[in-house]
Amino acid sequence: MNRFVSVVLSPRFVWIIFCAAAVAISLRNLLMPGGDLFNTGGVYTHYNNFVIFKNAFFHLLEQKNLYISYPAVQYDVFKYTPTFALLFAPFALLPDVPSLILWNLLGAALIVNSIYSLTGLSQNQKAGFALLLLQEFITSSINSQTNVIIAALLLLSISAWQKEHTWRAALFIWLTAFTKLFGVLFFALFLLFSKKLRFVWQAFVVGLILFLLPLPFGGFEKLLQHYSDYFELLSHDHGEFVKYSVMGWLKAWFNVSPPKNTIVLGGLIIQFLVLLGLKNLQTQIAQRLFAAALLLWMVIFNHMAESATFVIAVAGVLLWYYSQPTRKKWQLLLLVPVMLFTCLGPSDVYPKFLRTLIVEDWQLKVFPCIAVWAVCVFQLYKTAFQTSFENK
């Protein structure tokens, strides 16, 4: 039994299982027949998001509008920056079969490497972290999404900061921001570390370079037009519909629908007011807890969060759990519903009618993450202001 556990918790096994999952998911999506998958009259593949990314690269080269519908070749529109479209070039230039496999293998390699790069965790804890995240990796990869890569880059940024590799931290965060804008929130972490001035100018340089990368394909005016179209698209992405979020939970449990901006602003204030106790947040544990809370915030306060997005939130949950100096039973009790409902809720573990109840009607996909975020923030406030309270 001990030998079995040691094999399962070995880095080699973790790498094999993630890479095998990436290849299997890719082949599954490639081999499944396409068709009118979205009931729109078009014929699309089972890796439509990947097709969108691939087409965006060619639209960039052809100086087309990146942010309008192209129903003849893809379902939905491109919602990322011109820089992301350009960086997708290695995958866009290859045929679908090798490029989709390589895309999912990249996600597997990055997420496993990011977990093993974390400081302050034992090898067994890192293996546990990775294996508990496997289901969310699968969910996101099936959708050919960017969320696994975003989660990995943000974890890598924490490791880079804690190792004082500020250039790398800046690069990892900017890469997420040029994919999905909410990654910029991680720049707030620089307040918890030394060498702040050095990081600021390094972040400025890295951000400017990434912004200007698409410049050869249309010039500065075309680049600005792309960003104008991009922000115009995002400005219309705030309808009444809510998915798996604090807003969806409030609606499902209490039948209340406060303004989304009010909820988001309230969550942001709660998340960042803790920085008033900055002096007590300079430890590695506090830094990881703040990062964990941010990873959770990015998802649970996103009214359009989908199942594939939750790999970011669950990475935050696991970072919180494995950052506890001594793990207690109540913390494990918080982790269990995350695994049962957040991770497994949309899976075939449950019959279809129960999946609908858990994920949509009861909002049990998001609620365990909300609970962990609340606990994580409470721990941060306790750490930040405990000296003040004790002196009164």
CA proximity to 234, closest of 95, 31, 67: 67
Tokens standing for residue 229: 């179209």
Type of residue found at 299: V
pLDDT exceeds cutoff 90 at 31 = yes
Type of residue found at 370: I
pLDDT for residue 326:
86
Confidence of residue 241 (pLDDT cuts 50, 70, 90): low
Place of tokens 């990081």: 199
Residue that wins the pLDDT comparison between 386 and 279:
279
pLDDT for residue 36:
62
Mean per-residue pLDDT, 45-51: 93
pLDDT exceeds cutoff 60 at 217 = yes
Cα–Cα distance for residue pair 35/114, rounded to 1 Å: 36
pLDDT for residue 144:
92
Mean per-residue pLDDT, 129-146: 95
pLDDT exceeds cutoff 60 at 257 = yes
- Taking the CB of residue 116, how many other CB atoms lie within 10 A of it? 18
Whether 341 contacts 283, CB under 8 Å: no
Mean per-residue pLDDT, 116-125: 94
